[in-house]
């Protein structure tokens, strides 16, 4: 699979080095799309950027051409990594404050990928507490700073602030593109509840928060997997570095899963509603004058986990389900493993309100051959432990 980078070039004399960076990325067979800010275009021309990158250059937020062709959301969705080089003091300040007054800053705020930032500026600007404050903000927000070097600057002064050399930036890009034990694998995760419509204003739902499924998607992505998360309605932000498809009902979740196949690993953590209303009404149900309540006829929803695990054409190598049980947890989980034909089940005791919406959980990993009890720990820690088991399993094959 060919990797692709979104390169944002902002206003600094170091922009000339970005031309070399684009050329070097092409040599590594990495596709590059570029955003050139107004400041950047003072130093290098859109034509040279377009010629070297073999792609159109994106410059304007409110441009019919740029927005119709790619749009500021898709620009980061279609890249594996976002690189800001050079990153001017002004663009770093915008990132720190979530400002979106041009295409570069709006794209950065909307980005769902790791962002590498290679600052370039005069020493006084670099050392100014405002810049350092902004840098620590964007670091906290997840950006990786490629530290500038020291030396003679274009302004004639000597000191730190010179953009890192192209080789250093390339090394940082390689590190983030090619690391992770799950690099090259594709994973599908379902998460959250599904809502089944009764009428346009009412639905049948459940208490799932989506915390566990979202944490698993994030952990898989952290270890290098290319993750699609199919999420029911939750209050959670989309995890970084993950492609998220938002759905409402079980039918929609099934269709989104089908669209995400084939994949190597599937983790079904969603609390899918087992039943839906057979005929949801197009108009809001009104109370009857005689006080009689409506009768809802329920029919079974498709079983998404079983569907994926028994897929005739695209069964993933590893299919993992969850079992929410209130009694006989392990027996029921083992039976579910067989019935649905999945490889592992993460068995979850949900009696007395445990697990749902809690931040900690204690689970048992049930496979055809073994059972592992994991102590009470955060859902993030469970996600990490599950991913470690996935990595071990894959390397043993
Ligand atoms: N699941 C699914 N589609 C459904 C129901 C469940 O994909 N329509 C998946 C869940 O994501 C979970 C596993 O099946 O990974 C088990 O869910 P659970 O609610 O424990 O089991 P059910 O199959 O619903 O069986 P029961 O409620 O009878 O225990």
Give 12-42 pLDDT, tens digit per residue: 999 999 999 999 898 877 899 999 999 999 9
State in Å: Cα 303 to ligand 1 middle. Answer: 7
- Prediction pTM value: 0.65
Q: Is 303 in the pocket of ligand 1 (CB under 6 A)?
A: yes
Q: Is 324 in the pocket of ligand 1 (CB under 6 A)?
A: yes
Give the residue, out of 321, 331, 346, 363, with the most ligand 1 atoms within 8 A of its beta carbon, to mutate for a pocket test: 321
User: For residue 1, with 0-12 CB atoms within 10 Å meaning exposed, 13-18 middle and 19 or more buried, which class applies?
Assistant: exposed
For domain 186-396, give the CATH superfamily.
Answer: CoaB-like (3.40.50.10300)
Ligand 1 atom closest to the Cα of residue 304 is 7
The confidence score (pLDDT) of residue 91 equals 98
Contacts of 262 (CB under 8 A, 6+ apart): 186, 314, 316
Q: What residues have CB less than 8 Å from 356, skipping those under 6 apart?
A: 206, 207, 208, 209, 271, 350
Q: Which atom of ligand 1 is nearest to the CA of 320?
A: 15
The Cα–Cα gap between 194 and 231 comes to: 8
Atom of ligand 1 nearest to the CA of 269: 11
Q: Which residues contact 296 (CB under 8 A, 6 or more apart)?
A: 198, 277
pLDDT at 361: 81
Centre of ligand 1 to C-alpha 173, Å, is 40
Determine contact, residues 322/348, Cβ cutoff 8 Å: yes
Residues in the chain: 397
Instruction: Say whether 186-396 and 4-177 share the same fold.
Output: yes
Q: How many whole angstroms separate alpha carbon 244 and alpha carbon 76?
A: 13
Domain ranges in the chain? 4-177, 186-396
Options 3.20.190.10, 3.40.50.1950, 3.30.565.10, 3.60.9.10; CATH of 4-177: 3.40.50.1950
Ligand 1 atom nearest the C-alpha of 321 is 15
Residue closest via CA to ligand 1's atom 12 equals 322
- Whether 155 is a known active-site residue: answer yes
Distance from the CA of 78 to the center of ligand 1, in angstroms?
33
Q: Is the peptide bond before 86 cis (omega within 30 degrees of 0)?
A: yes
- pLDDT for the residue numbered 354: 64
Pick out the chain residues at pLDDT < 70: 1, 64-66, 68-69, 352-357
CA of 341 to the centre of ligand 1 (A): 13
């Amino acid at each position: 699979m060919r990797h692709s980078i979104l390169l944002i070039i902002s206003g600094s004399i170091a922009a000339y080095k970005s031309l070399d960076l684009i050329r070097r990325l092409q040599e590594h067979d990495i596709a590059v799309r570029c955003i050139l800010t107004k400041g950047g275009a003072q130093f290098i021309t859109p034509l040279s950027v377009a010629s070297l990158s073999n792609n159109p250059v994106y410059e304007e937020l409110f441009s019919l051409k740029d927005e119709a062709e790619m749009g500021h959301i898709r620009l980061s969705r279609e890249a594996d990594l976002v690189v800001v080089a050079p990153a001017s003091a002004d663009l770093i300040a915008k990132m720190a404050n979530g400002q979106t007054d041009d295409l570069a800053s709006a794209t950065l705020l909307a980005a769902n990928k790791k962002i590498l930032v290679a600052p370039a500026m005069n020493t006084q600007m670099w050392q100014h507490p405002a810049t350092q404050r902004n840098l620590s903000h964007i670091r906290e927000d997840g950006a990786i700073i490629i530290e500038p070097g020291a030396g003679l600057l274009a302004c004639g002064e000597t000191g730190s602030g010179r953009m890192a050399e192209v080789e250093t930036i390339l090394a940082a890009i390689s590190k983030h593109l090619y690391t992770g034990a799950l690099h090259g694998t594709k994973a599908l995760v379902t998460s959250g509840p599904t809502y089944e419509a009764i009428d346009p204003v009412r639905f049948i739902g459940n208490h799932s928060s989506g915390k566990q499924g979202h944490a698993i998607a994030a952990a898989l992505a952290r270890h290098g997997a290319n993750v699609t998360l199919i999420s029911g309605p939750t209050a959670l932000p989309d995890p970084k570095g993950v492609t998220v498809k938002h759905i409402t009902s079980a039918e929609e979740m099934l269709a989104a899963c089908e669209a995400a196949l084939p994949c190597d690993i599937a983790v079904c953590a969603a609390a899918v509603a087992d039943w839906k209303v057979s005929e949801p009404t197009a108009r809001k149900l009104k109370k009857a004058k005689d006080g009689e309540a409506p009768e809802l006829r329920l029919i079974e929803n498709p079983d998404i986990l079983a569907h994926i695990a028994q897929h005739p054409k695209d069964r993933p190598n590893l299919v993992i389900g969850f079992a929410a049980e209130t009694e006989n947890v392990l027996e029921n989980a083992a039976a579910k493993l067989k019935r649905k034909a999945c490889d592992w089940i993460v068995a979850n005791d949900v009696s007395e309100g445990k697990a749902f919406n809690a931040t900690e959980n204690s689970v048992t990993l049930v496979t055809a051959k073994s059972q592992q009890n994991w102590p009470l720990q955060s859902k993030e820690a469970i996600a990490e432990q599950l991913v470690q088991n996935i990595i071990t399993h894959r390397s043993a094959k």
